[in-house]
Amino acid sequence: MLFVMLLAPFKSKAVSDTTIYHTLKRSRTYLYYPQSVERFYKANGYKLAWIAADTIKTHVWDGMLLLDCVRQYGLNHEDYHPKQLLYPELHKLIKQNAKGEAAALYDIFLTDAIIRFINDLHYGKLNPVYTAEKIDNGLKFKAYTELMLALNSNDFDGVINSVQPKAKLYLDLQDHMRLLVGQRSGDCYLIPQGLIRKMAINMERLRWISTTGKKVHLTLIVRGGDVISYKDEYHQDKQLERLLYNESTTNKKHLTLNKIKSSGL
């Protein structure tokens, strides 16, 4: 429905060299990082970044597959425009070698989704210091430049993955999450969703530690392949879980680092 609503004003217009520019202006309110998306397209000359004929190599399938696998990063698929980024629509646009408003809109939503994914991997979705507004206004780390690097690389996934924290605590947790959500979920293992969620919220905390330098209490780590849990001393796990999975109406600005200390790990 959103796709149709945004396209409606354009139906009678001919395709022009400014299609991306005008479509972007009209869709800003639907984007998570409108300024970053605008910087991205300004840098690439307001050209389609993803949608092209199937004879032209792009990273569109790499990007879509990454979004399909966000649970392996402790993130939520619903945060990345799933209603707009539908595979049947993408196949149609590629088959038709579309260059009009529909292609522009799909391209823009995919760019916004990947930029959000990069920011969520780097800062965390709910970073109490670096909010989405601050990030979009411009910080030293720029997701849109990382995306441009990835699009010009033969290792798209590798460039995107490189924005994550480098700490061993994070890497061990990430490896274990990938094992549980990826390999074992397809091998008839019954993985408790509570464990997956607790791992996800501690991956989130480790992203905060990496970007803010603050001390944050962890309630779960992985060491030598074993999951080790710690007491939720500050009673924050449930609130963070609800926010991470969009199950709370609480304003995330209420999430702070006050009185949070390291678990000494």
**Residue 173 pLDDT level (bands cut at 50, 70, 90):** very high
63 pLDDT above the threshold of 50: yes
3-state secondary structure 43-80: HCCCCCCCCCCCCCCCCHHHHHHHHHCHHHHCCCHHHC
CA angle 69, 123, 116 (to 5 degrees): 50
| Mean pLDDT value of segment 138-150 | 97
* Helix 237-244 vs helix 193-212: crossing angle, to nearest 10: 90
Range in 6-15, 135-144, 181-190 with the lowest mean pLDDT: 6-15
Burial 101-127 (b: 16+ CB within 10 A, else e): bbbbbbbbbbbbbbbbbbbbbbbbbbb
Query: d(Cα 228, Cα 85) in Å, to the nearest integer?
Result: 37
Q: Predicted confidence band at 265 (pLDDT cuts at 50, 70, 90)?
A: very low
Give the per-residue pLDDT at 130.
96
Cα of 165 vs its chain's centroid, Å = 15
Question: Taking residues 75-100, what's their average pLDDT?
Answer: 96
Where along the chain do its domains lie? 2-161, 168-254
- Is 222 in contact with 173 (CB distance < 8 Å)? yes
Mean pLDDT of the region 203-210: 98
Q: Quote the mean pLDDT of the chain.
A: 88
What pLDDT is stored for residue 152 in this prediction? 96
Give residue 83's pLDDT band: very low, low, confident or very high (50, 70, 90): very high
Question: 31, 112 in Cβ contact below 8 A?
Answer: yes
- CA dist 134 and 112 (Å) reads 16
For the ranges 111-120, 177-186, 244-253, the one whose mean pLDDT is highest: 111-120
Return the sign of the alpha-carbon dihedral for residues 163, 127, 243, 206: positive
The answer to pTM > 0.95 is no
